[in-house]
Structure 1
Amino acid sequence: MNNTKWIFFSFSVPSRLQGFRVKIWRRLNALGAVQIKNSIYVLPANEQTQEHLTWMGKETDEQGGESLIIANGNLLNISDSQISAAFTRARDEDYLALGEEIRAAVAEADSQERPAALRKLEKRLEVVRAIDFFPSGKGENLQKMLDEAQHPPVEGHPVIPLAEAARYRQKTWVTRANPYVDRLASFWLVKRFIDPAASIMFLHDADAVPSGSDIVSFDMAHADFTHVGGLITFEVIAEAFALTTRIPPKMREVIKAIDLEELDAAPVETPGVWRMLDGLVAANSDDHARIEQAFVFFDTLLASYTPQISTGK
């Protein structure tokens, strides 16, 4: 984020309202605000932060205190780079503390509480990354550490040969009719990360699989891309085209759990995603319409696993 416009907030309350003062401090910290010159807080200026600070100012005034909000302002004696550096320092302190806790939790290899502890730490990391307005890479590194701790390599994991994406462009991808999660997610991968111009053909039971240099079959018996070992087709395509870093592990887990109907160790959100997917299928009996809706569905699902920061304009 390259934001040089700020919104400033200052407040004061009578000493008898110490509890309210602490409440405002906590809310400012939750927003990721940094304090400059003792009594002034600053955030990147956007609609979201302006709305939050406006409400806090209104509450402060109603409590008998005083507040001041300056939108899109510039301080003459403090540069933009100094302010952005203050944000970086604040988040670095958060990451340092979290990193120590994550390493300690990872070291507890035999602890029964380890999985729950790692999940709690992941939630806390998500909160910090959401207010990391000037990412330095530290948050991403901690996320990778958590991913590796929660999803260690599986012994005997099948080796999927790498495929050259350029050789799979301008192709027609062929699969069985009535697509569900694996076929929908697999073709979404193709369209979003391999070939935006790819087309799809659906086969019914009596249809022969077409052949030719422009045909790629998937999620069928003897297909070019299908289940291998314990991997579903979606995972096979992701590994073949080196897309595993683009698709968060938890999203891959959810898709696999739905396809295999295995919820025991699935992420907690899996039943909700499954129900939404069933609704998508029920609302779209036409296979091509279903595919089009699936693009939006999986785009949204991917976004839900990706830290998003609203920067405004």
Structure 2
Amino acid sequence: MNRRWLLFFYSVPAKPVSTRMMVWRKLAKSGAVQLKGAVYILPYSEGHYELLQWLANEVVSLKGDADFTVIERFENIKDAELTGLVNGQREKDYKKIERELDEIERKISGVKKGTGAFDFKKLSGRLKKLSKGFEEFQRIDFFASRAGIALKKRISEAENEIRNLSGYTAKEELIINKRAEDYRRRTWVTRKGPFVDRIASAWLVKKFIDNEATFRFIQENEAQKAGLRDVLFDIKAGEFTHTGGMCTFEVLLKCFRIKDKALKTISEIVHELDLKDGVYAPQESRGIEEILRGIRKSSKDDSEILERGMEVFEFLYSSKT
């Protein structure tokens, strides 16, 4: 069965040149590939349909002409050829990333051989920037090209190498396995003024450990007054708190042996925002942090901050599953 495609064609006045470049950039950013001349193709989706509808209107507003159509099949072009055309463009995009990654890998190799100096902040910063660029191209890698899969593996390996060189370890030997049934109907106690790690940890407890859990906030110097049924978390001397190179959210995942691909992604976001050590570079981090800051500023107390903040992580989890 052939795939449906969107065919977009347009013309704009020769001057100013910036108008033509603006349209080209938007098409390129969407993942559209030039078929011939000013004719571009995109695999069909509702999102792409709306994008081209909007772009056609914009071209007309710039005194140009544009239209698009849905194509069920081409008479003289096989579907595999079109897919190959799109993948070919993605491979060209990835080449830019590969060249930078080659240089980073040489730096890592030099450090391991003892022939180069190791600057964790600089090297991890370069890889973080590279990863962000890769994610932008991966978003429009509609058919999971081989080049994209191979490059993703190389980036992941480079991230692990840099972590190992920095001495980062999860220190799992310090983690004691826990049973969720032993933590039912308990009060989880943490520091006042909850933010990223505490909010995310509370959400994790409520969703995966005990949906009847309650929460309380104290000053750090009040921890010794906690009751027998209280569970201290993300607080000095707490049962669940930062361990080794892990934030509290990561510790809870390990202790309760919660394995979930979406939670792994969320844990990287929480880790980066809480520890800011450059170990991970999730693209959503900044946006999540800004939303949580807004919640803190607009909430009347810690309980409201926690409740509204947990909704953010619930929505984030839903988007990842």
Deviation, structure 1 residue 33: 0.6
Please tell me whether the aligned partners of residues 36 and 42 of structure 1 are also in contact (alpha carbons under 8 angstroms): yes
Q: In 1, distance between residues paired with 2:79 and 2:209?
A: 41
Tell whether 2:227 aligns with 1:209.
yes
Structure 2 partner of 1:256: 275
Structure 1 partner of 2:90: 91
Structure 1 partner of 2:167: 155
Please tell me whether the aligned partners of residues 201 and 252 of structure 2 are also in contact (alpha carbons under 8 angstroms): yes
Please tell me whether the aligned partners of residues 225 and 237 of structure 1 are also in contact (alpha carbons under 8 angstroms): yes
More helix by proportion, 1 or 2? 2
Deviation, structure 1 residue 32: 0.6
Q: In 2, distance between residues paired with 1:23 and 1:7?
A: 20
List alignment gaps of at least 5 residues for structure 1. 309-313
Task: Name the CA shift for 1:250/1:27 in 2 (closer, same or farther; >3 Å).
Answer: same
Please tell me whether the aligned partners of residues 11 and 66 of structure 1 are also in contact (alpha carbons under 8 angstroms): yes
Please tell me whether the aligned partners of residues 7 and 44 of structure 1 are also in contact (alpha carbons under 8 angstroms): yes
Structure 2 partner of 1:74: 72
Tell whether 2:266 aligns with 1:247.
yes
Tell whether 2:187 aligns with 1:178.
no
Of 132, 135, 138 in structure 1, the residue corresponding to residue 144 of structure 2 is 135
Q: In 2, distance between residues paired with 1:275 and 1:14?
A: 41
Identity %: 26
Structure 2 partner of 1:311: none
Structure 1 partner of 2:180: 168
Please tell me whether the aligned partners of residues 172 and 201 of structure 1 are also in contact (alpha carbons under 8 angstroms): no
Structure 2 partner of 1:291: 306
Q: In 1, distance between residues paired with 2:66 and 2:90?
A: 26
> What secondary structure does 1:226 align onto?
coil
Please tell me whether the aligned partners of residues 12 and 65 of structure 1 are also in contact (alpha carbons under 8 angstroms): yes
Structure 2 partner of 1:187: 202
Task: Name the CA shift for 1:43/1:210 in 2 (closer, same or farther; >3 Å).
Answer: same
Structure 2 partner of 1:10: 9
Q: In 1, distance between residues paired with 2:60 and 2:286?
A: 45
Q: In 2, distance between residues paired with 1:24 and 1:156?
A: 45
Structure 1 partner of 2:113: none
Q: In 2, distance between residues paired with 1:16 and 1:208?
A: 72
More relative contact order in 1 or in 2 (CA 8 Å, sep 6+)?
A: 1
Q: CA RMSD of the aligned region, Å?
A: 4.4
> Which deviates more, 216-225 or 96-105?
216-225
Q: How many residues align?
A: 292
Structure 1 partner of 2:99: 100
Task: Name the CA shift for 1:9/1:46 in 2 (closer, same or farther; >3 Å).
Answer: same
Task: Name the CA shift for 1:280/1:61 in 2 (closer, same or farther; >3 Å).
Answer: closer
Please tell me whether the aligned partners of residues 11 and 67 of structure 1 are also in contact (alpha carbons under 8 angstroms): yes
- After superposition, what is the alpha-carbon deviation per residue over 1:219-260, rounded to whole angstroms, capped at 9, x for unaligned? 345543223345442332244436774336454121234xxx
Deviation, structure 1 residue 180: 1.3
> What secondary structure does 2:127 align onto?
helix
Q: In 2, distance between residues paired with 1:282 and 1:178?
A: 14
Structure 2 partner of 1:28: 27
Deviation, structure 1 residue 43: 1.5
List alignment gaps of at least 5 residues for structure 2. 109-116
- After superposition, what is the alpha-carbon deviation per residue over 1:56-76, rounded to whole angstroms, capped at 9, x for unaligned? 434555666543311x33124
- After superposition, what is the alpha-carbon deviation per residue over 1:148-178, rounded to whole angstroms, capped at 9, x for unaligned? 366446437352256668x325724522363
Task: Name the CA shift for 1:121/1:275 in 2 (closer, same or farther; >3 Å).
Answer: closer
AA at the equivalent of 1:199:
A
Task: Name the CA shift for 1:10/1:292 in 2 (closer, same or farther; >3 Å).
Answer: same
Structure 2 partner of 1:236: 251
Deviation, structure 1 residue 52: 3.8
Q: In 2, distance between residues paired with 1:228 and 1:10?
A: 57
Structure 1 partner of 2:214: 200
Task: Name the CA shift for 1:191/1:35 in 2 (closer, same or farther; >3 Å).
Answer: farther
Please tell me whether the aligned partners of residues 190 and 198 of structure 1 are also in contact (alpha carbons under 8 angstroms): no
Deviation, structure 1 residue 131: 1.5
Task: Name the CA shift for 1:148/1:103 in 2 (closer, same or farther; >3 Å).
Answer: farther
Q: In 1, distance between residues paired with 2:212 and 2:162?
A: 34
